[in-house]
Structure 1
Amino acid sequence: MAKLERCQQEAEEVAQIMKENFTKALEREGKLSDLDDRAEELRSMGQVFTRTSRAVAQKQRARHRRWRLVLVGLAVGLAVIILIVVLALWLGGTSAATPPVPPAITRAAPGGD
């Protein structure tokens, strides 16, 4: 009978270990489910972040393009103004730089008085 009792005791121990293993497996399943939910939430948050960052980058590129156009326009306008001023000075300066034509000097013929 000692063998039968020992077998029953071992069977109870094995049954207890199996119950503990089953409980641990259920706990792990719950934890894995929680991790899966968190991973899905992080994935969706990452997608939202990606969309937002792309939109911000597009706005920044548009802003930079506008400033470049403004600066190019200012540079072209300034160049045109400088060109006009230079041409005005050059054209106005050439007519002023030529000496006036002196009136014709008439000489009296010698001895003709």
Structure 2
Amino acid sequence: MAGLAQCQREAEEVTELMKQNFARALERDGRLSDLDTRAQELCAMGKAFTRSTRAVAQQQRRGHRRWRLAAIGLIAAFLLLLALGLAIWLSRPAPTIVTLTVTVPPPTPSGGGE
């Protein structure tokens, strides 16, 4: 009977170890579930971050494009005004040079003979 008691004690020890192993497995499963949930949340946050950075980058490109177009417009307007001013300046009539010839009669002798 001593052998039977020893076998039962060993069976109880094995049963206890199995219960502990099962409890640890349940804990690990809970932790794995938490980690999986956190990983999914991080993935969703990463996707949202990627979308927002793309939107911000697109807005910046639009802003730079607007400034570039405004600068090109201003330069074009300046060049147009410069060309218009040059065209007006070149199309004005050339100044005419007027030559006046004045004939001065020779001085008459004042002598009284006439």
Structure 1: which 4+ aligned runs deviate by more than 6 Å? none
Aligned Cα root-mean-square deviation (Å): 2.3
Which of 1 and 2 has greater Rg?
2
Moved more, 33-42 or 82-91: 82-91
Identical-residue share of aligned pairs (%) = 49
SS for the counterpart of 2:97 is coil
**TM superposition shift of 1:86:** 2.8
- What is the TM-score with the length of structure 2 in the denominator? 0.76
CA distance in 1, matches of 2:28, 2:3: 37
CA distance in 2, matches of 1:88, 1:102: 27
Q: Which runs of 5+ in 1 are unaligned?
A: 107-113
CA distance in 2, matches of 1:78, 1:6: 106
CA distance in 2, matches of 1:104, 1:91: 30
1:42 maps to: 42
Aligned length: 103
**TM superposition shift of 1:80:** 1.3
**TM superposition shift of 1:105:** 8.8
1:109 maps to: none
Q: Does 1:22 align with 2:58?
A: no
CA distance in 2, matches of 1:2, 1:79: 113
Q: Which runs of 5+ in 2 are unaligned?
A: 104-114
Higher fraction of helix: 1
1:55 maps to: 55
1:95 maps to: 94
CA distance in 1, matches of 2:76, 2:101: 50
Any idea what the Cα deviations from partners look like across 1:42-65, whole Å, max 9, x if unmatched?
A: 122222222222222221111111
